[in-house]
Structure 1
Amino acid sequence: MNKVIGILGGTFDPPHWGHIRLAEHFSGTLQLDELFWLPSGEPWQKGAHITPPKDRLDMTIAAADVLKEELQAKNIDTKVMVDSMEIDRGGPSYTIDSAKELRQKFGPDVSLIWLMGADSFLQLYTWNDWRDLSRYIHLAVASRPPYSIQKQLIDHPPLQAYYLDHQTKLAHDLCSKASGLIYLDEQLSIDLASSSLRPLLSSNNTANRIQEWLPKSIHALILKKGLYQSTR
């Protein structure tokens, strides 16, 4: 059987338990051989107020270490790594560029699966050359409230058509070919976004709830670096 690799891309500003749970879930469901965290360099859709890449990379490395511990505790053998290709590349970070680079790196036969939440998938049609992604990768999408993909796709006919053309109901299908499929996983519900977390981190009234959102190691890094001290 060909190697199966998961890619978790994102700004990770900051990475939180939602990212870790999503990665943990798909590591088990898809029996990933390897999982790469891929922090973006210049996320062109996120605006100007982004934490510097080096700080986000450091937090992502800390999140990957937490994921390793979580997987080990559940006897999941996925090898976890962080790849800084988008930061190293410079300029705006486009998923299509990373998909091409990863395909070139791993060859034509490896199953490459991009992991994401439903909110990201519903914005897929705004991404650069988004229809070409199926030539290089699969998409595995975890449902996240308040998003109902099936209902909201009706409002985006091009994305709905793309989904219907590439959908599969079986997770195993993603492992048996290299690219081209979209798997909607409705078993995982995660309702925590970095954009809503950053303002909360700047508040002095939420200290006792931080561990609900962040592993201790990431919170310690945030305090050490003095990040998110003003609401964005």
Structure 2
Amino acid sequence: MTNAPPLVIAVDGPAASGKGTIAKALARHYGLPHMDTGKLYRACGLAVRLAGHDPYDAEAAARAAKSIDQRLLDDPDLMSSLNSDYASIVSSHPAVRAALLETQQAFARQPGGAVLDGRDIGTVIAPDAAAKLFVTAAPEVRAARRHAELAGRGSDQTLADVMADIAARDARDSGRSAAPLVRAPDAALLDTSNLDIAAAVAAAIDLVEKSRAQRGR
């Protein structure tokens, strides 16, 4: 009797598409560890901010990425709108992505498998993943979700400002030279624009099962 192959699930997509919520739900469903890779870049962005550096300074960002303070992953400012901008900018530097590559790939190589969500999981971090999802939603839907999330944290940022931030992040994420946001050729598309959380998670599980069946895993 042979051991079952590891189940690695790659969940990619743009900001506020629902990929993080779906990835966490998949991890619970399959009993797998989960990594929100975006938090690594947010921690790098926060480190750059706290040091007073410009996020466009590639060398400063790379230094921060090579020595991430794990305490920053729990910092209340990690998920702020300002820090989201810093994270998006520092993540465009090839040296930053290279510095964080091994951390993410080591997580994906765990014996039983893992669920990772981000923007280059299925294309760069775990190209051989047993299942790949590309989660998306209409820009106005994503902006409304992020606006509600920020308002819940006490932010007074307007919906128009959030919409502009979403558009700017999409442009940076898709246009960067290093590991741009792109749907892997073998990733199943999941549009959550008209789905509530329960329906989106159910659809994701169905897509994962179909992928596993096709790949014999």
TM-score range (shorter-chain normalised) is: 0.3 to 0.5
Which structure has greater helix proportion?
2
Which has the higher relative contact order, 1 or 2, with Cα contacts under 8 A spaced 6 or more apart?
2
TM-score calculated relative to the size of structure 2: 0.33
Q: Structure 1 length as normaliser, TM-score?
A: 0.32
